Amino acid sequence: MSERLLVVDDEPSMREFLKIMLSNDGYEVRAASSGEQGLEMFMLHEPELVLTDVKMPGMSGLDLIKRIRSLNKSVPVIVITAFASAEDALRAVREGAYDYLSKPFQLDDLRIIIRNALEVRRLRRENLELKRTIEERYRFENIIGKSPQMLEIFNLISRVAPSQTGVLITGESGTGKELVAKAIHHKSPRGQRPFVTVNCAAIPETLLESEMFGHVRGSFTGAVATKPGLVELANTGTLFLDEVGEIPLSVQAKLLRFIQEREFRRVGDNEAKKIDVRIIAATNKKLEQEMEEGRFREDLYYRLNVIRVRIPPLRERIEDIPILIDHFLKGLSVAQGKKIDRVSSLALRVLCNYNYPGNIRELENIIERCVTLEESDQLTAENLPPQLVEAGATSVPVSTGDVSPEGIVLDKILEGTERELIMRAMELAGNNRSKAASLLGISFRSLRYRLVKLGMDTEDNS
């Protein structure tokens, strides 16, 4: 299929000449005699490249570029004008023109520029499609990961979601168990129905039964009105029992009966109510151990554990850390009105070497801290929490060897390592301090401080 081109020029002879020449070259060409008509044709026919004159009555070529860029930044615009000047060229490029030709021009030059512009657009489009494909592959609902463990979980969610079967999600705190539960719900036939969470760890034992099943007026002190429970609110949808291992034994028996019979009684009510809900439970406890120690009912465990989804801790899927960092960095930068779009190599290395006892929740908090404190356009190591830097330092090989029986002077070893790294960075940067600071993942001010501290600041400060 031929690429669509739009020619905008108020000079009839030039307009017709370009239309005939480019049509003979195999392009599908439309022509407009003014900027206003060109804009209208651009919106109507969505060309893949625009050639426009600069000096035209009414809407100028520069104004047309602005409007086109506001509509679609991916369409290249080539400016052709008889009024050649450096100022026009700079203004056109500044407004987003792909390239600039002055009349008279060589036809081969124009052909080359058009081919190059279309090729650049094609490559950009392919890159965007590839990026979108990668994001879709590594993103399931709001869950992000490319590790084999996470891809297996994505597959399991897709297979489990259409059924009515109960699911038990296990994993450490901060691994994203609720996100998995919501993904199963949204991918299920109940996806448009309620998703109700019971935080079993946050509700006091004395109120848990009432919160789950509701109560009638006067059933206990303070019950001034009849209140439906969370189970009832989840009717036709999904009931998510978060931290189900925290439910006391006194309520476990009633929960088991509810799961078996799909009916319940409000506290103080003699009438049983039937209900239609899917049960998804999650826990960070080892329920098998809880059963052995008599804190969790065996029969309830087997009712909940029909299909099990284990969410691995972040330290077991380190290949997911960079894409999670990128995801959090983009969102938090926008939220805080900053333009931090990259991570220094040192900061990334430190972030990937940490074991994250708090898992994804901890990683997100760390990135939020860094975005808040960062003053440059990249996330640098100097704003990382101290415990990360210390943990990262232990993974960096030190050329001086291990601790000897005679002992070592740690400060001197660390000072020597710091000196070697700074000297290497300065060498690679050609003694440009800004570049060296960037290579080290620190700010220019921090590098200057370290140079002074190590006696390496050779600049004349007088």
Q: Is residue 250 predicted with pLDDT exceeding 60?
A: yes
Report yes or no: 200 and 304 within 8 Å, Cβ to Cβ: no
Tens-place pLDDT, residues 398-433 = 444 444 454 545 565 667 677 878 887 787 777 888
DSSP 313: P
- Angle, helices 249-261 vs 205-213, to 10°: value is 20
The CB density around residue 2, as the number of other CB atoms within 10 Å, is: 11
3 vs 119: CA distance, rounded Å: 11
User: Looking at domain 316-394, which CATH architecture does it have?
Assistant: Orthogonal Bundle (1.10)
406 vs 441: CA distance, rounded Å: 35
113 vs 102: CA distance, rounded Å: 13
Nearest by Cα to 188 from 172, 165, 206: 165
Domain covering 4-132 assigned CATH 3.30.930.10 in the classification: no
Residue 348 binned pLDDT confidence (cut-offs 50, 70, 90)? confident
Percent of residues, the chain, with pLDDT higher than 70: 88
Which pLDDT belongs to residue 462? Answer: 35
Q: What is the mean pLDDT of residues 32-58?
A: 92
User: Looking at domain 410-453, which CATH architecture does it have?
Assistant: Orthogonal Bundle (1.10)
Fold agreement (4-132, 148-312): yes
Output the CA torsion 419→421→427→428 (10° steps): -160
Which of 78-87, 160-169, 217-226 has the least mean pLDDT? 78-87
Q: How far is CA 212 from CA 159, 236, 262, 365, in A?
A: 29, 16, 13, 31
Q: Is residue 42 predicted with pLDDT exceeding 90?
A: yes
Q: How far is CA 168 from CA 101, 181, 298, in A?
A: 66, 9, 14
Nearest by Cα to 200 from 170, 220, 230: 230
Tens-place pLDDT, residues 427-440 = 777 788 888 888 78
29 contact partners, CB below 8 Å, separation of at least 6 = 4, 5, 6, 7, 18, 19, 22, 23
Q: For the whole model, what pTM was predicted?
A: 0.59
User: What average pLDDT does the chain have?
Assistant: 85
- Report the topology of domain 148-312: Rossmann fold (3.40.50)
Tens-place pLDDT, residues 286-329 = 999 999 999 999 999 999 999 999 999 999 998 899 999 999 99
Tens-place pLDDT, residues 158-217 = 999 999 999 999 999 999 999 999 999 999 999 999 999 999 999 888 888 888 998 888
List the beta strands (DSSP E) in 127-248: 139-140, 143-144, 167-170, 195-199, 214-215, 227-228, 238-242
Q: What is the mean pLDDT of residues 27-35?
A: 93
Residue ranges of domains in the chain: 4-132, 148-312, 316-394, 410-453
